[in-house]
C-alpha cells in the first residue's frame, strides 16, 4: 500500500505531502520496509545462510 492517494483525517491534505505531524508519522510508518528494521535483501540472505547451514549439518550427520 502506498500513501499517494490517502488523505489525512487531521489536515485533509494528501498524506504524501506530510503537512502535519500525523501525516509525517503515517508516511514514515508506511515507507518502512522489512522486518524489525532489516531490509528484505538482508532477510533473504539470512534465510539462505540458515538453509545452507542446515543442509551442511544434515550432510555431516549422515556420514
Task: Tell whether 1 and 28 lie within a shared domain.
Answer: yes
> pLDDT value at position 57?
94
**In 1-63, which ranges are continuous DSSP H helix?**
21-31, 40-61
User: How many structural domains does the chain have?
Assistant: 2
Task: Tell whether 23 and 6 lie within a shared domain.
Answer: yes
Task: Tell whether 24 and 46 lie within a shared domain.
Answer: no
Region of residue 36 (phi > 0: left; psi between -120 and 50: alpha; otherwise: beta): left
- Which residue is listed with cell 543442509? 55
Alpha-carbon distance 34 to 41, whole Å? 9
> pLDDT value at position 50?
97
Tens of each residue's pLDDT in the chain, 63 residues: 566 788 888 999 988 888 999 988 888 887 776 676 677 788 899 999 999 999 999 999 876
Task: Tell whether 27 and 7 lie within a shared domain.
Answer: yes
Helix (H, G, I), strand (E, B) or coil at 7: strand
Q: Which domain holds residue 52?
A: 36-63
Task: Report if pTM > 0.75.
Answer: no
Helix (H, G, I), strand (E, B) or coil at 51: helix
Task: Tell whether 23 and 47 lie within a shared domain.
Answer: no
Amino acid at each position: 500500500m502506498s500513501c499517494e492517494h490517502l488523505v489525512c483525517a487531521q489536515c485533509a491534505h494528501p498524506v504524501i505531502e506530510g503537512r502535519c505531524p500525523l501525516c509525517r508519522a503515517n508516511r514514515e510508518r508506511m515507507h518502512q520496509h522489512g522486518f524489525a528494521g532489516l531490509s528484505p535483501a538482508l532477510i533473504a540472505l539470512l534465510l539462505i545462510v540458515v538453509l545452507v547451514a542446515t543442509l551442511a549439518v544434515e550432510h555431516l550427520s549422515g556420514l
